[in-house]
């Protein structure tokens, strides 16, 4: 999902009539962000600002600096929270500029195309061999197997991109060069995609310990071989609002017992339930954590997400379950892959 933001930028000194032409070309996205000679944000401009300027005696030859709103809304990269994003969205702001620490615009967030703008790094675990899907994975890594018209990993990336995530890491090992070649560095989508290589297998989460330069305070880790329409904003909100250290997306699994179940103590029946349903929660392979939690992952050894989960629980970290109510499928076996091909046309992303 490429975000083109240059078309929204204009220099402080150009005539307003040129800006009017640009606003007309932008149509539904008709807002401009005015920058100075150092590319720093100094104001915004809409059709309404131009009308007010003309009414107040300005002309079409006057410079845009005379028409602008001098205190535009903006997001500072690396220094914002999800509640600010939701407030912008609820107040009807459609396009918000993102600035760096020097005040320069680095991108725009357009809520016509993005569901949110989450302050997260994402690690996609894509190093496995996909043994159970052989011979399909003899020459192609499992993340690149197609479901519908695009690869499994591309479905995951596009879903994450739709929530405005900028910073990605992909852990690779088996046929990893193919993944790097197909997915690239994210430049065409105005995001960053980095790669971390496993020289030897490091389990389902061990490779994360090799990443030392995360951009954000929160990290989402996901398996690359799942297909889901998880609402990542709701997942993140639940995590933040509960002050969790670690959260697991989980799949509710109901067990229907066709008999009356008795509760006893010393052979005395205390109560019974007629044909009860018990709900259990399965691990969906998607995790959210505070960045500091990653220090709990040992360096350069096989380590699984379940090992980390067990360690955090034993050491009294706040570990939370987030029941996933939408679609989820782990594409591990041939039957799963067949089901994914059937389901893809009916999943609402």
Instruction: Give the mean model confidence (pLDDT) for residues 8-20.
Output: 92
**Helices and strands (H, E) in the chain, number of each type:** 8, 19
Query: What pLDDT is attached to residue 328?
Result: 95
Q: Considering the chain, what percentage of its residues have pLDDT values greater than 90?
A: 79
Q: How confident is the model at residue 5 (pLDDT cuts 50, 70, 90)?
A: low
CA torsion sign for 220, 221, 227, 228 is: negative
Taking the whole predicted model, whether its pTM rises above 0.75 is answered as: yes
Q: How confident is the model at residue 206 (pLDDT cuts 50, 70, 90)?
A: very high
Instruction: Give the mean model confidence (pLDDT) for residues 277-282.
Output: 85
- Cα(22)–Cα(221) distance, rounded to whole angstroms? 41
Angle between helices 47-55 and 16-26 (to 10 degrees): 150
* Residue 64: pLDDT over 60: yes
Q: Which domains does the chain have, with CATH numbers?
A: 7-110 (3.10.580.10), 121-343 (3.90.550.10)
Query: What tens digit of pLDDT does each residue of 143-158 get?
Result: 999 999 999 999 999 9
Dihedral, 201, 202, 208, 212 alpha carbons, nearest 10 = -90
Please identify which residue in the block is written with the tokens 């007309």. 24
Token pair, residue 72, equals 């535009």
Query: What tens digit of pLDDT does each residue of 22-60 get?
Result: 999 988 899 999 999 888 999 999 999 999 999 999 999
3-state secondary structure of 196: strand
Please identify which residue in the block is written with the tokens 């560095």. 185
Q: How confident is the model at residue 277 (pLDDT cuts 50, 70, 90)?
A: confident
Q: Which of 306-339 are b and which e, b meaning 16 or more Cβ less than 10 Å from the residue's Cβ? A: ebbbebbeeeebebbebebeeebbbbbeeebbee
């Amino acid at each position: 999902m490429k975000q083109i933001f240059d078309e929204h930028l204009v220099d402080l000194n150009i005539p307003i009539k040129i800006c009017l032409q640009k606003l007309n070309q932008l149509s539904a996205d008709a807002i401009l962000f005015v920058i100075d000679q150092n590319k720093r944000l100094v104001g915004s401009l809409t059709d309404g600002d131009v009308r007010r300027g003309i009414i107040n005696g300005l002309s079409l030859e006057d410079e845009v600096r005379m028409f602008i709103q001098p205190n535009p809304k903006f997001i500072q990269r690396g220094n914002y929270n999800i509640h600010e994003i939701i407030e912008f969205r609820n107040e009807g702001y459609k396009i918000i500029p993102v600035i760096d620490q020097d005040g320069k615009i680095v991108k725009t967030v357009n809520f016509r195309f993005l569901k949110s703008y989450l302050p997260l790094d994402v690690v996609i675990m894509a190093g496995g061999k996909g043994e159970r899907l052989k011979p399909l994975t003899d020459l192609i890594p499992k993340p690149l197997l197609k479901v519908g018209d695009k690869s499994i990993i591309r479905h995951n990336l596009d879903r994450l991109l739709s929530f405005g995530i900028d910073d990605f890491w992909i852990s690779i090992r088996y046929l990893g060069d193919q993944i790097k070649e197909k997915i690239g560095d994210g430049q065409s989508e105005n995001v960053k995609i980095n790669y971390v290589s496993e020289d030897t297998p490091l389990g389902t989460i061990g490779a994360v310990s090799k990443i030392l330069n995360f951009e954000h305070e929160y990290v989402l880790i996901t398996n690359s071989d799942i297909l889901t329409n998880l609402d990542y904003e709701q997942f993140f909100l639940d995590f933040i609002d509960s002050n969790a250290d670690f959260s697991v997306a989980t799949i509710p699994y109901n067990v229907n017992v066709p008999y009356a179940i008795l509760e006893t103590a010393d052979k005395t029946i205390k109560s019974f339930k007629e044909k009860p349903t018990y709900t259990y929660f399965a691990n969906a392979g998607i995790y959210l954590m505070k960045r500091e939690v990653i220090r709990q992952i040992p360096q350069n050894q096989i380590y699984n997400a379940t090992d980390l989960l067990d360690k955090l629980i034993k050491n009294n970290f706040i570990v939370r379950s987030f029941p996933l109510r939408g679609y989820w499928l782990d594409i591990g076996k041939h039957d799963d892959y067949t089901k994914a091909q059937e389901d893809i046309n009916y999943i609402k992303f």
